[in-house]
Structure 1
Amino acid sequence: MYKLILVDDEEEVRRGVLKKIEWNKYGFEIVGEAENGREALDIAEKVTPDVVVTDIKMPFMDGIRLAEELKERFPTTKTIILTGFDEFEYAHKAIKLNVVEYVLKPISSKEFIEVLIKTKERLDNDIEQKKNMEILREHYTKSLPILKEKFLSSLVGGRLKKDEIEEKSKNYNIDLHGDNFVVSIVNIDYGSQIMDYEEKDLAAFSVLNIINEVVDNYNLGIVFIDNGKIVLITVCKNLERNAAIGVTIRALEEIHYSIKKYLKLAITIGVGTFFSHITAIGSSYQNALAALDYRMVMGENKIIWIEDVEPQGKNRVVFDEVKERDLTSSLKLGNEDNLCVTIDNLFKEIIEARASLKDYQIYLMEIVTTILKVAQNFRVNTEEILGHNYNIFTELYKFNNLKEVREWIKNIALKIMKSIAQGRKDSCKLIVEGAKEYIAEHFSDSNVSINKLCAHLHISPAYFSSIFKKETKMTFVNYLTQVRMDAAKVILKTTNLKSFEVAEKVGYSEPNYFSYCFKKYFGISPSEFRNSN
């Protein structure tokens, strides 16, 4: 169904037209009705109509002015003018405004249906022509001979002198005489679409065909394919710089809109710097490539002009010691929320900054380097986490926007943080196990102490005390006492050793103190315990 808006300041007329026609039967859907041109434009902004049927005489904005605005804003929208006999000559002057039919009022249902059928055929043909890949392939072959293509590639590559450019452009019938020049590069954003090579070639030919149509309409320049990229060289005649910029951007916006409408494809267009001489076209081409690279920062499906994203006096974005310390600390803490906030803050700064692409790339590499340094310091096996032959710096350049990079970095950082936390946990368990073994072997030594134990384990007493209590729910002294008391029980039950001898065997040099500790621990004296069974 094609979307249609009906515009007439008389409600009776609108109601009559709407009721007379079985719109769906003829391939149309009424998506809005308006009393004047201004109201119609507001509706068009929301629904993007395929056809607008409009009266001429209306308050606020008449039908001719509406047709002008529609051509400017919606270049593919067709307009049907409803006009009285005395207005016909006036209406006919609007022939260049995408007006496809002029209908004299009053009109019968039969006549109007004929107009709708013709209009639908035009719309169908437009779409069919743009989708006919075989025709496009033939058109592409005929329009870009090999020699012409090589010349244009050499031109944007900056490999030709002025006299060579003049001679070859004349030989290939390419008009390069102008006052301002700029190169734009169109990239098809396939995203998650899966296409084979032939489908991608045909999609490129389709895009190329639409670009050629728009460029021809604007009499703007030359379009060709260079190393898989669709390149537009804009040649502006008799226009000062600002006017040349305005015309170029309008044409690119029409290209962007038309490709989305007819081919359902997203494209990103990188626009280079404007120069006043054709010999500088190579520099404009390099700047257009640089603009295209900003897809990572700004996202796809946009028109990116290098002078917008790399203005004079641009800001710098620096990954300084404070940021490195914050990221390192977050990785070591093992707190997922804290780490995510830290990374979000790091990316917030570069998203808001208007820095050069080189600064962005260095900034991101320093974030990744910091994460890897922390992983190395904690002996994290990154191959085990990320996979064999995984080159993190190569992967960094595969993403299309900063949001994807942020989530990718966040994912890697969280894995490394969890590995560090797990490693610390495993290390704590090993320390506690080592401490228990040491105590089991040395509890009979009355001089055993936490300091001796920590010297044996090569850790500080304060750190040992915290992890030992966390793992065992007991202090070192309490655990040592428990081991000694359990050993004393066994000795008292299985031997006839006297109390002072038992005390010596379990690490107490003072028998009385041993008896005091035993009674405090079990509630009875050593002798009472021995005689209890």
Structure 2
Amino acid sequence: MRDSALHIRSLTLPLTAKRGRGLRSASASQNRRQGNESMYKLLIVDDEKIEREGMAEFIDWNTYGIEIAGTAWNGQDGYEKVLETHPDIVMTDIKMPVMDGIGLIRKLKEEFPDIQVIVLSGYGEYEYTSQAMEMGVKYYILKPCDEERMLPVIEKVKDEIEKTKLEKRKYDTTVKKLLPLAKEQVFRNILLNRETSRKEYDIFLGKMGEHKDCVSLLGFRNPAARFDALEQFVIENVLSELYGGENILMETAINKDVLFLIGERDIEKVEKSVERIREEFSRVNGQAIQVALSDTGAIEHVSALYTQVRELFQIGSPSDDAALLYPERLSGFEGHSAEFFRLDKMKAAKDYADILFEVYLGFMKMNLRGVEAEQKKRICGLVYQVSCEEKEDDIERAFDWDGISSDDDTLMRTLSVLIAGLGDIDLDSGKEQIRMKNILQAVYSNIRNTDLSIRYLAREVLFMNEEHFGRVFVRSWDKKFSTWLREVRIGLAKEILSYAPETRVSALAELVGYSPDGQYFSKAFRKETDMTPTEYCEWLRKENSADQGSPENG
């Protein structure tokens, strides 16, 4: 049992000696209240009743800008009082029953990190004080306590609280200024399929609210030049006024486009807004601008919606009578390139083999969906034009697609070479590059042929020595041709199962160059994936179900 009487003498005598100072401080206290200085709420936690009540009652806390929030007799009681009173400062003893001071400090640091803690430490309790300091406690008072020992520490804690509040206000002000720019940048990165962190993506999703599963993209394009700041301001204000600011979720500018993510696809309302905006531009500077509205889609597909908007710009023209371009208005707009081609993968391709893989996969998807030859050519043109825009260099690039044949092989070779050119991938600088380009093109032209082998290509297609072919290939890929071919075929099969899981194993085997009985195909598939095609489909189904049900995708 502690010497409580001795403690009361040490606590009371200074109060008695300084009672006059307390009276003299009344005017200062009044000035503090008139100046609206914050009162800080203090909770005292000590298992000794006489000490606890002595500290709470015998000091004129109001004089020092402190309001007693309450007292508690152990850590658990103190924790419950914290939940009830929300103090700014907790002054706690260490050795207490039920829950000691260390346990209380641990809970406060985990759940209420902004609360400042003062430790009341007796002689011989340095080990406990050290634990408290390791948990971030900066302030302690050695028992027995008196006013002269307590008040300087209290003043330091108050200064710490004010400093923290000031830093938080500055931080909040900075964040408030930067957040719109940050959200716009995240929106832009997502539209362009650039790498985005989970935290950035959460910022983007947080802006969507109830619209996560139903958004559209509205794009404005000035074919002559980029919109300046004033022109963007006019578009935004007119659109907000006529379409409703609450329906505009995000906006950004990319090259010659100003883009708005909208949560309600009301074509009639959009058209009225667009007519007004086009009138303004025509009146002020005689410019004809293009406006396109995508289909509705889930927020995770917003990049594909941007691809669709860019395709609409390519199909339409600024002089069109229609004020607004959208898929339902354009005849022959059967789907869009993002349904078949992974433009982000094509853009990120490191070599020509990667590009050919993506182009061939796109044609496999189009064939599965029954897309006709002329529509394939049209889609290839859109893929190229949209890929050109990804360069963001304002260089006009054009290709006469009408001047080439519409067969799959010609279209695939043409598109793959054009995309390689955009990626600065060397195909023709030397004999080795030209030879490898020809080999890769020959592989994909014959990939459905069950007889495809190094011998077949060397003798029947490329007319070169078989051994030389093998050496060239191993030198380029550091693996045998048969191994590489199996990896490509099974890679294509996996992508098709992901795109069209209803595809039968026998049909899939034929698509990638195996016999339709599926036995050899299933064996090769297992060698690459450790699963049969059927098991892989089941795995995909479970993965998709898990993604749709997770909080991150909610």
- Mark yes or no: TM-score above 0.5: no
Q: Which has the higher contact order (CA 8 A, sep 6+)?
A: 1
- Using structure 2 for the length normalisation, give the TM-score: 0.28
For the pair shown, which has the larger CA radius of gyration, 1 or 2?
Answer: 1
- Using structure 1 for the length normalisation, give the TM-score: 0.29
